[in-house]
Structure 1
Amino acid sequence: MTPVALELRSPLLYVPLNINALTRPLLKQLSAARTDDTAGVKVTTHHVPRGAVEAATRLLVCERAGSSGVRPVLFWMHGGGYVLGTPEQDTTFIERLLARFDIVVATVDYRLAPDHPYPAPLDDCHAALSWVVDHAEDLGVDTTRIIIGGQSAGGGLAAALVQRTVDQGPIKPIFQVLVYPMLDAMTVARKDDSGTGDFIWTSDSNRYGWQSYLGRDPTSGNYPPYAVSAARTDLSRLPPTWLGVGTLDLFHAEDVAYARRLKQAGVDCELYEVGGAYHAFNVLCPNAEPTRRFNESMFVAIERALC
């Protein structure tokens, strides 16, 4: 516990937690608890068709109660290692975001691995984003001011979705927000994690998440396009980026490397590192001062992007 910032210490950090085939059913049930009641926020549920015979993808559209007109949109993806989670788990974050900005937040309930490995989760996100653009007039969305973002595995999906939209068009995101994103499957092969990954998201969980998502050995390389965001060689055409991560997060090294590569490619990228912060520290300690500073840095970056 010594390396953990004082404000971020919690008895819950002593609870061993690994996600695997045995623990996932219970954790999935717990993470599915709905918490979509938000103060001052209007939430509407939409269903995005996947095809003539497939079930639809659930999409939550969140906005300030009473808001109207044409507004920017943040298209958001929840975390959960590609194997857990629902949009409702980000209720607190969305409330804080809408208290700051009069925007629309669209958050997608993408399918989860291992039942639905790549490309199903990314396909769901891409279809939902396209649906938002196609229904922009009804939703009050300004399609010239689209931000794509996500947290953890959702951050990995956000990075992949940005890459795909940049390549395929016609959607042109103006900014991406990557909150300790899960970007590089090769992190599974690291022998020395340099003291990271001791809390919340461990090396064992990471291997299970990537194995489930890719449907094969995550260290084998030669990934399909957009399956592993960090595997992309050309980052030059991507939009400006804010990327935040804690120094004790298992993803710290891969996130710093991705931010560095974005800058080297000429992309305006702000990297915000939180000393003594583990994975999902902002969820476990939402009112701590490091979380407040973390959110403020993100919000200022979003504000600049929308100017």
Structure 2
Amino acid sequence: MTPVRPALDPELRDLLADMPLMSELTPELLAQVRQFPSPPVDSPAHRRDVTVPATDGTPIPLSVFSPANATGAAPCVYWMHGGGMVMGDRFSQIDIPLEWLDRFGAVVVTVDYRLAPEATGTTLVDDCYQGLLWVAEHATELGIDPARIVVAGMSAGGGLAAGVTLLARDRGAPSIAAQMLLCPMLDHRNTSTSSRQYAGEPGVWTRETNAFAWRSVLGDLADADVPPYVSPALADDLSGLPTTYVDTGSAEVFRDEDTDYATRIWAAGGQAELHVWAGGCHGFDALCPKAQISATARRTRTDWLARTLSA
């Protein structure tokens, strides 16, 4: 029996009623979804496309968006897209970081990491890390202040952002000023209360779709061999991380793993700001940006980023 669950925000419920939802993801359905690319980017920002070699030499595409009239060294938002690590591209949810380009004059860099199941294990997070290293090494050329690089991502991208930040801490470079984890996908075990609550019925992202995505990412890895850079909830030590922003919805699969991650950062003596949006489903502010709850969530994280960059 499906456990009782927090209700959706009424406005979100009405908006989602007109959207196609799914209870599970299959290889066939994934192939269909992948046929629909992200919409064209609508921004007056200057765009530069580059490729960066991955650890195995594979070219990883990056897009760099810079303010048209940039002067001086700007903050940078390094963006990792959502899509369960099995779909999406570097322009998915790009409107979110481009808001910060408009507001703060930030340079936005977005990475096209390889997707599962074609790529597995640490390949995805390492692609993101190699891209970040390139950004830090070319900060002067890109007009970026290397002391104000913010790593950010939504859903799968939030999990990859957390993994990249752990890698940077453990390898000693590059310097990351802050991490923004938006409804992040952090725990391959998929056993939390919120995971069980959002199973068995169609939704934006269900326990079943989550299980499919993680199986695709992990490939032949045994549970005991999963690295924390892939599944950041496994990290024993969350000390030494940059200031962190975490948000999630009360009505979504990742609620409990996200709140636990913030709690463990506090327990390790770190600084984190956590928001659990009542009635928010997974990715609500990307799916329904005009809803009141979405506008509030976006404004709140932008205010946090303003405080963080000024500090």
Same fold (TM over 0.5): yes
Q: Which residue of 2 aligns with 1:66?
A: 69
Q: How does 1:145-224 map to 2 (within 5 A)?
A: 145-187=148-190, 189-190=191-192, 193=195, 195-196=197-198, 199-216=203-220, 220-224=223-227
Residue 18 of structure 1 deviates from its aligned partner by 2.8
RMSD: 2.0
Residue 71 of structure 1 deviates from its aligned partner by 0.7
- Note if contact 2:6-2:250 (Cα within 8 Å) is conserved in structure 1: no
In 1, the alpha carbon distance for the partners of 2:275 and 2:251 equals 13
Q: Which residue of 2 aligns with 1:77?
A: 80
In 2, the alpha carbon distance for the partners of 1:233 and 1:275 equals 29
> Residues 291 and 135 from structure 1, CA distance in 2 versus in 1: closer, same or farther, beyond 3 angstroms?
same
Residue 186 of structure 1 deviates from its aligned partner by 1.2
- Note if contact 1:35-1:89 (Cα within 8 Å) is conserved in structure 2: no
Identity across matched positions, percent: 33
> Residues 191 and 291 from structure 1, CA distance in 2 versus in 1: closer, same or farther, beyond 3 angstroms?
closer
Query: Which stretch has the larger CA shift, 163-172 or 5-14?
Result: 5-14
Q: How does 1:35-184 map to 2 (within 5 A)?
A: 35-36=40-41, 38-50=42-54, 54-184=57-187
Is 2:285 aligned against 1:279? no
Q: Which residue of 2 aligns with 1:3?
A: 7
Residue 12 of structure 1 deviates from its aligned partner by 3.4
SS at match of 1:255: helix
Structure 1 stretches of 5 or more lacking a match?
none
Q: Which residue of 1 aligns with 2:26?
A: 20
Residue 83 of structure 1 deviates from its aligned partner by 0.4
Question: Once the two structures are superposed, what CA deviation does each residue of 1:243-284 show, in whole Å capped at 9, x if it has no partner?
Answer: 000001100011011111111111111101111111111121
- Note if contact 1:13-1:200 (Cα within 8 Å) is conserved in structure 2: no
SS at match of 1:150: strand
Residue 135 of structure 1 deviates from its aligned partner by 1.1
Q: Partner letter of residue 181 of structure 1?
A: P
Structure 2 stretches of 5 or more lacking a match?
none
- Note if contact 2:77-2:109 (Cα within 8 Å) is conserved in structure 1: yes
- Note if contact 1:77-1:87 (Cα within 8 Å) is conserved in structure 2: yes
Q: Which residue of 1 aligns with 2:251?
A: 248
- Note if contact 1:110-1:124 (Cα within 8 Å) is conserved in structure 2: yes
In 2, the alpha carbon distance for the partners of 1:216 and 1:20 equals 18
> Residues 191 and 98 from structure 1, CA distance in 2 versus in 1: closer, same or farther, beyond 3 angstroms?
closer
In 1, the alpha carbon distance for the partners of 2:169 and 2:298 equals 27
The number of residue pairs the alignment matches comes to 302
Residue 144 of structure 1 deviates from its aligned partner by 1.1
Q: Which residue of 2 aligns with 1:239?
A: 242
Q: Which residue of 2 aligns with 1:306?
A: 309
Question: Once the two structures are superposed, what CA deviation does each residue of 1:67-106 show, in whole Å capped at 9, x if it has no partner?
Answer: 2321111111000101011111223213322221111111
> Residues 40 and 14 from structure 1, CA distance in 2 versus in 1: closer, same or farther, beyond 3 angstroms?
closer
TM-score normalised by structure 2 residue count:
0.91
SS at match of 1:266: coil
Residue 153 of structure 1 deviates from its aligned partner by 0.5
Residue 40 of structure 1 deviates from its aligned partner by 2.5
- Note if contact 1:272-1:297 (Cα within 8 Å) is conserved in structure 2: no
SS at match of 1:186: coil
In 2, the alpha carbon distance for the partners of 1:165 and 1:45 equals 24
Question: Once the two structures are superposed, what CA deviation does each residue of 1:186-217 show, in whole Å capped at 9, x if it has no partner?
Answer: 12x45874633652111111011111111147
Query: Which stretch has the larger CA shift, 192-201 or 279-288?
Result: 192-201
